[in-house]
Amino acid sequence: MNRAVKVVFLHNVISPHNVPLFSYLAKAKTYRFKFLFLSPTDTHRPWTPSLSYDFDYEILRTITFRLPGQEPLPLYLNLSVWSKLRQENPDIIVISGWDHPSYWLAAGYAQVFGKKLVLWSGSTASEPSWRRTLTLPLVKMIIKSCAAFVAYGTRAREYLLSLGASTEKVFVSSNTTDIDFCRTALTLRRKSQTQLKKKLGFSGRTLIMFYGQLIDRKGPLQLLQAFSQLAASHPELGLMLVGNGPLASQLQDYIQKSNLTKPVRLFPYPGEEKIVSYYAAADIFILPSRQEVWGLVVNQAMAAGLPVITTAQTGASVDLIMPGQNGLIIPDNSPAAIVSGISQLLTADLQRMGEVSSRLIRPFHPSTSARSFLKALDATSG
């Protein structure tokens, strides 16, 4: 009987969004997975890792560097990566991107010891930065050494090809999350939306929801500026901003100074178990990012039966949004574009759009993504 192929999978943090995918991968009979996390969590992502998961994993000791800028991005360096890989002795190494030194160490290990390297990537061409420019030669070296690639979606696939990845080596395993759990918002909305709105302070309002990190690239300030333009002509509108981040105090100040305290409220991240009730209270979801690798909150909102507005710079937009059917793709996150998008949706049948969202997201299930991922691993033996 052939032994199962050993796979070591390096990932940045333990995200509740990715746990379902990892659980399905771990059930594969032909592969034996070990997941190595570079850090348990990160600032502005206040997830609390579980004490146990139904897959084999380990959290490595890390040294975290913060790069300067409006959004201080972390760099993880795990000095034990090399020795841990020697200990595990995998047949295949999966790295979840190229933005941390620990991934570079793993890629180097694969090269030195002749291990198959697979890159799981969501990066797109819509993320220009000095960091990307500086590391581009190294990124291209990593791509040349990979036996296969797994792309989050269409935009990520296109970017991998532009960097030199071979077409036959790139597999699409669309980024997704626990849509079964988020779908419970459908029943909750039918039964209790009026009460949920009242509890949140939005009685009688058509409620727009933003959920994400309160950072510049997500566009919460531009959304507030757009809402302030709409508020006078649309007194029936409400806006809730859900999340944590460095812009929280600035957003709250804007709400106060713009006399928006009645139609707008800011809520801290409530935890994964409670977020469903916020989705159930909402009528429209918006993610106005100027830069977004994917945007898993779009998956969640669609599973919760909501029409979605997002930007062309959001990786998920091209794969998940059918303009006019389940939402809109706006050209950018300028207040003018946001005002136009919201205004268009207010004349649409929001319930019908939400039903289309719920239907369209069904194929984007973690089990489906896991099967596509396994195809990429199968290709490494070809």
Q: What whole-number distance in Å separates Cα of residue 356 and Cα of residue 332?
A: 24
Dump pLDDT digits (tens) for 92-105.
999 999 989 999 99
Q: What whole-number distance in Å separates Cα of residue 320 and Cα of residue 308?
A: 9
Task: Please say whether the beta carbons of 124 and 161 come within 8 A.
Answer: no
**Are 304 and 186 in a shared domain?**
yes
Length of the chain: 382
**Are 93 and 38 in a shared domain?**
yes
**Are 205 and 305 in a shared domain?**
yes
Dump pLDDT digits (tens) for 259-314.
999 999 999 999 888 999 999 999 999 999 999 999 999 999 999 999 999 999 99
**Are 272 and 125 in a shared domain?**
no
Q: What whole-number distance in Å separates Cα of residue 264 and Cα of residue 150?
A: 40
**Are 166 and 208 in a shared domain?**
no
Task: Please say whether the beta carbons of 45 and 18 come within 8 A.
Answer: no
We report the CATH number of the domain holding residue 47 as 3.40.50.2000
Instruction: Report the chain's terminal Cα–Cα distance, integer Å.
Output: 20
**Are 139 and 199 in a shared domain?**
no
Give residue 274's pLDDT: 93
Dump pLDDT digits (tens) for 154-183.
999 999 999 999 999 999 999 999 999 999
**Are 282 and 227 in a shared domain?**
yes
**Are 153 and 37 in a shared domain?**
yes
**In total, how many domains does the chain have?**
2
Q: What whole-number distance in Å separates Cα of residue 167 and Cα of residue 146?
A: 13
Domain span at 319: 179-360
Q: What whole-number distance in Å separates Cα of residue 41 and Cα of residue 73?
A: 13
**Are 169 and 183 in a shared domain?**
no
Strands 63-66 and 74-77: antiparallel
Q: What pTM was computed for the model? A: 0.94
**Are 37 and 166 in a shared domain?**
yes
**Are 336 and 198 in a shared domain?**
yes
Task: Please say whether the beta carbons of 77 and 65 come within 8 A.
Answer: yes
**Are 27 and 138 in a shared domain?**
yes
